[in-house]
Amino acid sequence: MSELQFVRVDMAGLAVTMEETPALYRDLGGRGLTSRVLLDEVDPTCDPLGDGNKLVIAPGLLAGTVAPCSGRLSVGAKSPLTGGIKESNAGGTVAQKLARLGIKAVIIEGKPAAGPYLLEINKRGARLVAAGEYRGMGNYALMGILRERYGPRCGFLTVGPAGEHGYALASIAVSDPEGRPSRHCGRGGMGAVLGARGIKVVVVDDSGCAGVDVADPDSFRRVSREWAQGLVKGRKILTDYGTANLVLPMNALGGLPTRNYQAGTFEQAGEISGERLQEVIIQRGGKPSHACHPGCVIRCSNVYHDHEGNYLTSSLEYETIGLLGANCGIGDLDAIARMDRFCDDFGIDTMETGVTMGLAMEAGLVPFGSAGGVCGLLQEMKNGSVLGRVLGQGAAVTGRVLGVRRVPAVKGQSLSAYDPRGLKGTGVTYATSPMGADHTAGNCLPGRTGFRPETSGGFPPHQDEGQDQLSRDLQVMTAVCDLAGLCFFVGVSRENMDVTAQLLGAIRGSSLTGEQVLDLGRQVLVTERTFNRLAGISEVHDDLPEWFRREPLPPHHLTFGVPREKLRKTLEFKEQ
């Protein structure tokens, strides 16, 4: 198979074609490519689950190389949650395998008369195979069968029952190095879009592939090696405690969502902290540090065992712990782990699910703190009851149906596990990102700084002033990470923009500056905002729900006070 190929899958005609990548797209990858293809090929007013939408799968520009932490996979489509453009990404094994096969993107369009189907991609090409035997199967059983059938070297994308049901919070599972469905393109309902295309499984087999061509391999290896060494030393807290290391700092800051964002601190935070998580994992023979994809040197994932020492789930992350835990008033790691296992198997986003459960609790369906009650609601989704189908459409729909006034969502998508009254820069990102309320678009954690002089010192998270500028810079740099296929835990910083430029330049065999790379990030945001405007989503939608401005957040009694006019100008890029 030649390099730089598009795999175009016409589900209406059940035809797969290989195309040379158009010149317009050759310098794009990951989120930069998924968003550009969507703007060029999809009517922004289409039904997200109808015939007109497309799902685009793309590895980043650094995928398949020795660059550290470069195995993120981007999946993009018009979102059934937001009605706008969406890119969701995950680690796992698929991005690097696609890159080694010379696959620039997989574009899945149309809908079949029947289904589901399996898409096979290997060095001989790509083909569709009837997959009715997998209908309704959970991700764990499905990946187990696929691993036996296709071998442990293959990577898999799978849609759980939630995606087949068209649930707007459905995810796409990506196999981890052990072949488990523990990595998810979770945000935005991408699983529902892929399920609506009639695809249940994508199998990627890179056996016999030599790898990715690099114009200047010596420079590439040198920069990659030096960067990896620095990441191993500088990201030790993530290696030791995973993203759960944020539980206690967010709780101390007063920004940990508790009982549907009624408070910013949780009295049982210590029981669900990164420190407690590490202790339990070690006691039970799990893995406190685990790579979500080959080449990850940070290893912030983990493997969690039950009290009998048997595998339960991988990985327990801050967002899951914060939203299925504190946000629901639940302080039991085992209960949260069981919920996480269910979400991975059924194929739903733990963030959207956690916020949805919090709303159901505020509506009085089950009491806060009841893990059994939450598990009952998850079972309603699995059974497809009327209530379950409502919950399956996510937080915004659930809040409206149940009559809950305080719904933590922007553009139809739920907030992540950072209360915007406590982390106001992240609140700006929630409000202004084309992706809806998504922290992965530009998370303004304490200590993070921008790339311009006016943002180089950062801003206190409780301060309203300057947060729009900081969010803007971090959104641009995060877009760079997404198009390169980098995990943003490498550090969203100007220094790393320069490193990324060196690596991309070494691949091309031409010099590239950090400023040029930042321009690529800006262009991604311009592309996405253009799509959204055509879809009917404009700057007037760039705001948080009113109650975040009016209701003080205990214990520090903070409100979100960034002026609306600043929010609407955050991503204008007039000076470019």
Type of residue found at 68:
P
**What's the pLDDT score for residue 211?**
82
Segment 129-136 mean pLDDT: 98
Start-end of CATH 3.60.9.10 domains in the chain: 5-204
565 CB-contact burial (10 Å; exposed 0-12 / middle 13-18 / buried 19+) = exposed
Query: Helix (H, G, I), strand (E, B), or coil: what is residue 554?
Result: coil
From residue 575, give the alpha-carbon distance in Å to each of 142, 514, 572.
50, 17, 9
Residues 6+ apart with CB under 8 A from 571: 432, 472, 475, 525, 529
Query: Helix (H, G, I), strand (E, B), or coil: what is residue 143?
Result: helix
pLDDT digits over 172-209, tens only?
A: 999 999 999 999 999 999 999 999 999 999 999 999 99
User: Do you know the residue count of the chain?
Assistant: 576
Type of residue found at 399:
G
Question: By the 8 A CB rule, do 554 and 440 touch?
Answer: no
Q: Percentage of residues in the chain with pLDDT exceeding 90? A: 98
- pLDDT score of 351 more than 70: yes
Query: Helix (H, G, I), strand (E, B), or coil: what is residue 347?
Result: coil
**What's the pLDDT score for residue 574?**
58
Class of domain 5-204: alpha beta
β-pair type (117-122, 199-204): parallel
Q: Of 98, 80, 249, which Cα lies nearest the Cα of 163? A: 80
- pLDDT score of 3 more than 80: no
pLDDT digits over 234-269, tens only?
A: 999 999 999 999 999 999 999 999 999 999 999 999
From residue 180, give the alpha-carbon distance in Å to each of 159, 233, 287.
13, 28, 15
CB neighbourhood size of 216 (10 A): 17
Cα maximum dimension of the chain? 62
CB neighbourhood size of 370 (10 A): 17
Segment 41-55 mean pLDDT: 98
CA dist., res. 239 & res. 237, Å (int): 5
DSSP-assigned letters across all residues of 13-72: TTEEEEEEPPGGGTT--HHHHHHHHHHHHS-TTS-TTSTT-EEEEEE-TTTTSSSTT---
Q: Name the strand (E) or helix (H) holding 533.
A: helix 514-534
pLDDT mean across residues, the chain: 96
pLDDT digits over 514-554, tens only?
A: 999 999 999 999 999 999 999 999 999 999 999 999 999 99
From residue 237, give the alpha-carbon distance in Å to each of 232, 240, 445.
10, 5, 15
DSSP-assigned letters across all residues of 420-472: TTTSHHHHHHHHH-TTSS-GGG----TT---SSGGGTT---TT--TTHHHHHH
CB neighbourhood size of 487 (10 A): 25
Quickly name the fold that domain 236-407 has: 1.10.569
CA dist., res. 322 & res. 326, Å (int): 5
CA dist., res. 226 & res. 231, Å (int): 9
β-pair type (155-159, 199-204): antiparallel
CA dist., res. 538 & res. 33, Å (int): 22
CA dist., res. 83 & res. 446, Å (int): 31
**What's the pLDDT score for residue 2?**
43
Tally of helices (H runs) and strands (E runs) in the chain: 21, 17
- pLDDT score of 133 more than 80: yes
Start-end of CATH 1.10.569.10 domains in the chain: 236-407
**What's the pLDDT score for residue 573?**
84
From residue 226, give the alpha-carbon distance in Å to each of 220, 238, 317, 505, 513.
10, 19, 28, 16, 18
Quickly name the fold that domain 424-569 has: 1.10.599
CB neighbourhood size of 316 (10 A): 29
DSSP 396: H
Start-end of CATH 1.10.599.10 domains in the chain: 424-569
**What's the pLDDT score for residue 210?**
83
CA dist., res. 32 & res. 482, Å (int): 7
**What's the pLDDT score for residue 575?**
41
Q: Is 536 left (phi over 0), alpha (psi -120 to 50) or beta?
A: left
pLDDT digits over 446-483, tens only?
A: 999 999 999 999 999 999 999 999 999 999 999 999 99
Query: Helix (H, G, I), strand (E, B), or coil: what is residue 362?
Result: helix
